Structure 1
Amino acid sequence: MSQANDRVLVQTQDFSAPEEYARIAADDSDGAVVTFVGKVRDFNDGSAVTDLTLEHYPGMTEAVLNQIAAEARERWPLTHVTIIHRVGTMALGEQIVFIGVTSAHRKAAFAACEFLIDFLKTKAPFWKLEAGEQGKNWVEAKDADEQAAKMWDKQ
């Protein structure tokens, strides 16, 4: 169940990281604001990338992202949780994802932000299609992402 200060969006349009930061940083009771922005990079596994297309399962994607936000709230005392994930085709350097959390203390905010991106990469129903010199190919899940998510089971 999402909270009043949670914001979960799946959208094609870009977002403004400074505007999202300002929105969550406005609460003076928070001593920590941690954000993460993921971008389209020009390589993956040693191959050149020219663009990235992200597909998702509408409805289910938002539900999973809300569940991940709720789990972060169960683990840490958070004031704001924002997850914005883009879908569609994006060029090199474009923003893909914004994660923003606030808390009274930095350790909770840092841990929650890392947890959110680790779980988003392994649990949310997104599919990546990369285009490059080699043509187009679907990106397989990475073992390193699965291992990062599993580390949270021990905490």
Structure 2
Amino acid sequence: MLRNKINWAIPVAAALACGLLLAGCDTGAPSVSASTDEVAVKGTVKIGGKPATGGEIMFDPSNVKRKFAGIRSAKIGEDGTYTVTTLYGGNKISIRTPQIDVSADLAPSDDAKGKPVPKSNVDKAAAKLGGGTLHPNVKKLDIEDGDQPIDIEL
């Protein structure tokens, strides 16, 4: 009789344990906002401590719940300031600046042979590269309030 009680108790205990383990599992996807409410965001973009002199800032609010939320962009003013309307919640920020990133004394290649360009020709190289440098995914922010300025330092 004791053996019969043990025979059914083990499967019941195993089923309960499995049920408890599965109850704690989820899809593994991060918690993200599905909100389509917009918010105006403003701030300043600085490069090396000085305001950027033009360019473009892009906010990407897309995520697994907002797959088709388009990138929101705004021009960066000559004083480094911007104002853009994006969605509340997580945003990935990218920036295109008119300044060229220069390594040592050389700028990006100016000719088909790949020869480096002296710094005196940086403006010419910038024109060939489309007028600036793209800084992708500079920051990832959870935007909750448009009243607080979002300043970016490159």
* TM-score, structure 1 as length reference: 0.31
Structure (1 or 2) with the greater helix fraction? 1
Higher RCO (CA < 8 A, seq sep 6+) = 1
* TM-score, structure 2 as length reference: 0.31
State which structure, 1 or 2, has the greater radius of gyration over its C-alpha atoms: 2
